[in-house]
Structure 1
Amino acid sequence: MTSNSLFHFGHRAVMGTLRRLPLPAARFGFRAYHKAMRSLAPDHVARTYFGALMHCDPRDLIQRMILYFGVWEPNVSRTIEQNLAAGDVFVDVGANVGYDTLLAATRVGPTGRVVAIEASPRTFALLQSNLALNTFADNVRAVHAAVSDTAGTLDLYEVDAGNIGAATTLATRGGKRSATVDALPLERILSDDERRRLRLIKMDVEGAEPPILRHILDRLHDYPETMDIIVEASPNDDAIAWQAIFERLRGNGFSAWAIENEYGLDWYLKWRHAPPLRRLDEMPSRQQDLLFTRRQQLDRDGT
């Protein structure tokens, strides 16, 4: 057994033990283990629950959860899994360090395609390094750009040093400008074949989703009827815009389903199984991960 294999074995044993403890003891044990891991190295190679390898810095929120739990946003992960099959195309708008990209790559297989789009230069470099760790990721095309409703450039703002995924093109979120990046509409990024076979878009661009979604809706006839959309909706940024998007999607035959999601340590320690998706008839008033689908009905478990 290699030293790397020994690390992964011991790491799984520690985390498995912590998750079986009562919550107060699990919190205490986790914080001690986290402190030890940070002192060992600033970067660890983690293994996700679906078998991908990823460089993870425990100081970053997303990478920390992947490192310790092997998963990020587990209910979103399950929805992605259940909505992809071999040969499909998945588009990851706001790919971050590549967790959802790698998950999708395992689902669509060598006959499918994943298009991973990330605007931040620093995060895009991390995405590329994670793709290089995984031989099965040959079906991934990484694109360094921001998705927008028009071609041009956009300023990127870093909001939280402890969460690189919080980077946004919205100046109103109060971040520090870190870069100016190329921006393109989605149809300018995708090839004709990728667009024709597109099964699922996952979009998480920290509040910049409404104009992108409006642009997609303006050209909905260019996309397959079977295309679904998973989006992180943040109505606190622009409730009127999100309400209009929600109504347009429903007017175009999409039903809306809430994907429950939390980010705290306690939730990850307690999480065991994804609950069924919950159908929505109204736009939520708070941040919510949503699945929009034109399938007439979902299975009983929301997939």
Structure 2
Amino acid sequence: MEDNVMVRTALLPLVLPYTRSELPAWGRMMALVGGAIDQGWPSTPLVRTRYKWTPYSVWLNLADMHERIVYFCGRHYDLGPQLALRNVLRPGDTFVDIGANIGLMTLLAAHAVGPTGVVYAFEPNPDCCERIRLHVTRNGLTQVHVHPVGLSDQDAMLSLTRETGSSVHGSFAPPPDEATVTARYAVPVRRGDDLLGRAPINRPMVIKIDVEGFECRTLRGLAATIERHTPIVLAEVVAGHLARAGSTVAELFDLMHGFGYTGCAIAIVRRWMRYRLHLVPVTTAETMPPAATDVLWTPANRP
């Protein structure tokens, strides 16, 4: 084990410039230094690195596989939503990050909306919330407001479970196997309309929702906000997550159509050395591309 750590330490300065440039086969380069193996990566102290597309720093737990990917490529591993946000957010906008995790999308949005904009980050996991606050404080982001709650269609206290495989991912849905649960928290959930009632109405709003299957309940609790602000909505749409939470993809589509929205599934196309955003119109659950996990929703009357 010590020999592996020494080899990795020696190779990292050579590998990181390649992986962070996302050159062909960067994932193999990451694997070369044991990036896919949890053993041997320390959980403390957190490691500081620059977050791609922003001037901000992030602090990462390299013992967590998901955060290790961020360390190697310099950004959140889910590329599509980030490209979408970079396309739709403008200085002065309002961004609502629901299911903010450790705040990576929050940082991306804070840079995009700038000091004249505002970012609301909602995250019920106390460990994640602590990291968001660290990122906000260390980067001096006065435009970011952190709320340690989940959003739903009614106020309640719910059980948030964390399962094997990640130290920062959690779900309100019942775990498929109790043996995989590594932590459980009792956390508050609130109606989004109650918390966003004072959001500035004279500026564009973008809402991102990634709540591991609870998207439908979250959207119902935002009905008044959606009617008042007609925001662009970026929502994760994963059939398995929705099923665990007692919902379906069809239910989510019906909700958004009821709000007067049309959707485009988010896809990525690589051309030469660059990734490009590709939007695929979707009208029903059956028209979702098999590999798509996120949908960008816009009001039907918006150009």
Normalising TM by the smaller chain, what interval? Answer: 0.7 to 0.9
The runs of 5 or more residues in structure 1 that have no matched partner are 1-9, 262-266, 299-303
Determine if contact 2:154/2:189 at 8 Å carries over to the other structure.
Answer: yes
Which has the larger helix fraction? 1
Whole-Å separation in 2 of the counterparts to 1:70 and 1:24: 13
1:16 lines up with 2:21 in the alignment: no
* Counterpart mapping for 1:66-215 below 5 A: 66-72=70-76, 73-135=78-140, 137-165=141-169, 167-174=170-177, 176=181, 178-194=184-200, 197=203, 199-215=205-221
DSSP-derived class of the 1:96 partner: coil
Displacement of 1:215 after TM fit? 3.1
Give CA-to-partner distance per residue, 1:220-275, whole Å, 9 cap, x none: 664213x11111112223386330220231243311111237xxxxx9xx983123
Displacement of 1:138 after TM fit? 1.0
Displacement of 1:151 after TM fit? 1.0
Displacement of 1:32 after TM fit? 6.5
Give CA-to-partner distance per residue, 1:89-138, whole Å, 9 cap, x none: 00000111110001100111111100001101111111111112212x11
Determine if contact 2:18/2:26 at 8 Å carries over to the other structure.
Answer: no
Whole-Å separation in 1 of the counterparts to 2:31 and 2:226: 53
- For 2:49, the equivalent position in structure 1 comes to 46
Q: TM-score, normalised by structure 2?
A: 0.79
**Structure 1 stretch 44-53 or stretch 91-100: which is displaced more?**
44-53
Work out which structure has the larger RCO, using CA pairs closer than 8 Å and 6 or more positions apart in sequence.
Answer: 1
- For 1:264, the equivalent position in structure 2 comes to none
- Flag the 1:140–1:247 CA change in 2: closer, same or farther, 3 A: same
- Identity among equivalent positions (%) equals 21
Alignment-mate amino acid for residue 281 of structure 1: T
Q: CA RMSD in A?
A: 3.2
**Structure 1 stretch 245-254 or stretch 191-200: which is displaced more?**
191-200
Alignment-mate amino acid for residue 181 of structure 1: V
DSSP-derived class of the 2:275 partner: coil
DSSP-derived class of the 1:260 partner: strand
Which has the larger strand fraction? 2
Alignment-mate amino acid for residue 260 of structure 2: G
- For 2:59, the equivalent position in structure 1 comes to 55
- For 1:7, the equivalent position in structure 2 comes to none
The runs of 5 or more residues in structure 2 that have no matched partner are 1-10
Q: TM-score, normalised by structure 1?
A: 0.79
Determine if contact 1:200/1:228 at 8 Å carries over to the other structure.
Answer: yes
Whole-Å separation in 2 of the counterparts to 1:286 and 1:22: 20
- Flag the 1:169–1:40 CA change in 2: closer, same or farther, 3 A: closer
Aligned residues: 278
